[in-house]
Structure 1
Amino acid sequence: MALLSHTAEWVGSDSLEKWELVGSGGFGHVYKARHKDWGFDVAIKLLRDGVGYSSSALMPKEKALSEEVDHMDKASCEFVLRVYGIYEGNPPFGGISMQKGIVMELMSSGSVQDLLVVLRGPPPWPLTFRLAHQVALGMNFLHSRNLMHQDLKPSNVLLDDDLNAKLADFGLCRVSTSALNSNEKMTGEVGGTYKYMPPEAFDASYEPVRAFDRYSYGILLWTIVTGREPYQMAGHSLVALRIPEGDRPPCEKINQREVEGLEELVDLMKMCWDENPAKRPTFKECLEVTEEGFSKHKKEIHGAVHHVLTRLESHTSNQYSNIRVPLSFSPQTSDVSFSSFSERSKSHDYKDAVRVTTTKNTSTQESVSDSEKTLSDEDQAKFIDDNRAVLIQDVSEVMAIVDELGDMVHSETYSVIESKQTSQEKMRVLFQKTLRSGGVTVKASFYAVLKRHQPKLVERLSGIN
């Protein structure tokens, strides 16, 4: 395999300026830098631990980097992250004298995972349907080139300035075995994040085929629709045990009649995570569903994107740089372990308060209603403080809210709250033990969860008719 594709080029340190660390991952670190000659910012993904360069041989990680560039170039399209070349040089922050990396298109809005963290739930419906469609378009193109992704998950779906999706991180990408000759064998280990891996992939003898990506797409759809990470509290061993036995993320609380096209999208995600790989639809078949679904909400996409970008810009100015790579979803959107899956999932409401809801037989909604206007975290915290007495008196779904706050509520505090007999007593403990000392972040998280569970109470206290 050639080290450099015909469209990519070498990029040295002399061509780059204004370096800024914007994220980290298992492969290495990601930086933003300005290319002096091109005049625009690019993303530089550097190998972890500064793998050295030798003109006589490629080290294993360098070979993986070269393969990733080759695969990204082969899969280049509107819905796949563009690669510009390979970096080789001395970064200005010191360390190993010579480093290598990939020079890529900069996606200034982060990833789908970042989006779900900031929104503390799912995106507006028009954006949800567009993301589902654009990911399917990218994956269909990838498979048409006899490539697999093998690590399709929210953090590997990046977003541009207008929140359009592009597939990224081809570090695990391999040529599809279904496209190889019978005497050729797949090389490398089965990759992927275990929560997005199909049941057959937990078999040590499994060799990936394109059905792997189709399963991951189904779990990804669930994550986007609900705004939650699948089985967040379950470790690898438990997931490896229960997924082959047929367990999947719960869909019972998804109101499939809430918005036009959602029922078909839920049916699609279930088909994609079918235990039988042969029954999972191809991405070309997925496109028939996602295109139809997005077409029903295309007129509302500009209003939805504007609403979300406003939220992202507000959040970014307070806490983050342009690209964020969080370790996990925010606690209030966390899932639970399999052992308590059925009981605790009943308390979760998937209807997100910030979502621009487009239902059947409703007129086009270009703007966000007063009840959906975004408050800053500070304003949300102030709302909780100002209405403390009323909240203690009127909040009824206390344990459901506590469950969604997850690790923000200490285990001992959880036990005390659970032992109280009335909702008022439970809320009083929550205020005393968690909200009082938790600061703006915890109070804002409580506000978001409360708004999902008891929207009428929040509207009444906000003075919204």
Structure 2
Amino acid sequence: MTQNNDVQNKTCGSSNSLTCSRSAFHTVLCSMTRSAELPQRVSHDGITLLTEAQTNCGKIHNEYQDIYQQNREASRMRCEEVLRDVFDKMEKSISDGSYLKKRGGYQKYRDTLAQLTSDYRSEDVLSKYLRAKEEIGNIILQADQYLNAAEREKEDQGSDSVSYLSLKAQSSARPSTEDTKVFTPELVHRGDEDKHNNTYRFVCPHAGQFQCSLTSLVFVMEGKGEVLYRVVSWDPCLLDLLGQMKPAGPLYNIDCSAKSVSRLLFPHCVIYSEEKKDSLAVAHFTGGNVEIMPPLKVTETHVMVDIRDLSSFVLVWIRNTFSSQIDGQVLLFLRTITHEHKEKILNVHLLPGNVPVSEVQLKHHNKTYIETTSQCYLFPDREYSLHCQQEKCVVQPKSQLFKLNFGPNYHPTFEVFLDVSVEEVGLSILDKPKKGNEVWHRQRILLTAPSKGVEPSAQTRIPETEFVNTHGDKLIKRALSGMAIADSLKSKNMITREMWNKIHAAETPQEKMRHLLDTLESGGDNAKVEFCKVLKENEPYLVNELGPHL
């Protein structure tokens, strides 16, 4: 036994011994002493015993490490199960957006997290869990700071709330603007055919990423070059052949002679989420064919595509319905007042947020653009109404379905008739299915303030528009081709079927022409140009007499 103790002391005390605990090695020796062969081996050679003890100790150490690792993994899994149970209430509140609906959600989230943390402690498992929740906390803090009074009111009333997943997607998908340079394009006209449309010109000085201040288009350039682009008319029915698709933006024709455009980013009006971003694509029209281009990236505001050649592009929604809430805008135009009128007429347009204001202004350049904060959130195919706070005013129609209108004509959604002396009004857009909840409200809108928008100069005034505006009374008395003009306008989607029906139902040519001219006021310049074209074909002598310059 003394010899055994000496061996044990040498083994555990030697600097060359295995790194194991004394208790584990003692267990090995005790096991060996119970063996009948141990005394014989020790008596012949103490080194033999030492070698065998070292071997057995290594095996024990390896088995111990395996069992320890298994226990650690099982413990971790069990800890995660307990964590899920303990923090289940908070997880549900995160998922349903409870912390995002009201101001102060961040403080409530932090208090709940602190309380649950004090109830549970588990070393690195809890630390990892808390690190993940710290990211969520930052997102909730961002939402808490971002929510304005109108959004908080909307969410308090039970309207569609912003979800945690949506905000997380927005925070990760928001494009970096550090390297994007904003430019204001030159507006050019390249001939008579183009005089009724905006053509935007950008001369790129070098490679980089550039965003248009009027259309929000972004060009990724490989080098310098002139870029010409414009919104063009088209038939959305061309998408019917491709299945469940609808336009999600205007159709842009883009050209760059230097071929230095490598990527395009198109602005969208979709309220961003991971689910919705997969429903956006770009349709490329070239050579009579349509190519659907999957996006390289979808951000909170834009859809990016890689391009090989330029022609016409339109953003598309790859679904047969477009029923999700979108980012919209409310635009106001005041009709020109003459000595014959005793009232002001304010046109109110509900439009998708990615329709360029400059395009709507061009179509209604003979009216005054009233600049105000315009952003709102709208549901396509939902009924909205307009409320005017001014006494003795008339609003028509009383309600209207909101339709996605990406041009080329931008008819007003509502008309407000006011006394000529009224200088300011308050307006609200109401969501009828939501019991009249306000989706847009402005307490004061000045009708006398000068517009800061793009106003045409005298050189860019359209003769056909001047002709219709000047000779309306004479056209009502003398023109006989009102129905032929209405047919042409309807075939080119410049007036709606309801407008056409009203003209068709009129009994006399004078009534038809009066209704037609009223319709032209909402149809913009393109409708008036088409009016003059058909009128000249059918009644050339009348046109030559009233407007020989046409």
Which structure would you say has the larger RCO, counting Cα contacts within 8 Å and 6 or more residues apart?
Answer: 1
More helix by share: 1
TM-score by length of 2: 0.29
TM-score by length of 1: 0.33
Which structure has the bigger radius of gyration?
Answer: 2
More strand by share: 2
